[in-house]
Structure 1
Amino acid sequence: MTNPYSIKIAEVYREPEADEFFFLNDPYRTTGVKQLLEWLEINHGFEITPIEKRKIKSLVINDPLRYASGIKIKKR
């Protein structure tokens, strides 16, 4: 799970909302994750929206990992 204090969203550090998820790599370019997201949209009525890359800035102290992608999931 993403540490909520390590993500900067739209110029302000804040906790991610319950429906926001962050990844080190683009989930739509990761085999398995892409299919899972598509399955949730098609079969269970979820709307999955990418968070614009320019809105994500990752700050992890003493850790080289950077969260580069994010998605927001809503039930239709």
Structure 2
Amino acid sequence: MKSIVIYPENPKQFSVIEAFLEEMKISFKSQGEIKISEEQKKSILHGIKEAEGGKFISEEEADKIFEKCFK
């Protein structure tokens, strides 16, 4: 069975989604907020900026680089 990950943007969205899932008798698991450091956040935002600017490689290219690193 497939699963869906949902990222509500605020507590109201969260409670509406939670109420809907309960009403529909859909099983789910909620987790607390994910905590990341400022350095991790900067790194993620930098990666997003690069990707938006077209600075990324294909999965195949990444696999080749990965294989070279672990030979």
| TM-score w.r.t. length of structure 2 | 0.32
Larger Rg: 2
Greater relative CO, 1 or 2 (CA 8 Å, sep 6+): 1
| TM-score w.r.t. length of structure 1 | 0.30
* Higher helix content, 1 or 2: 2
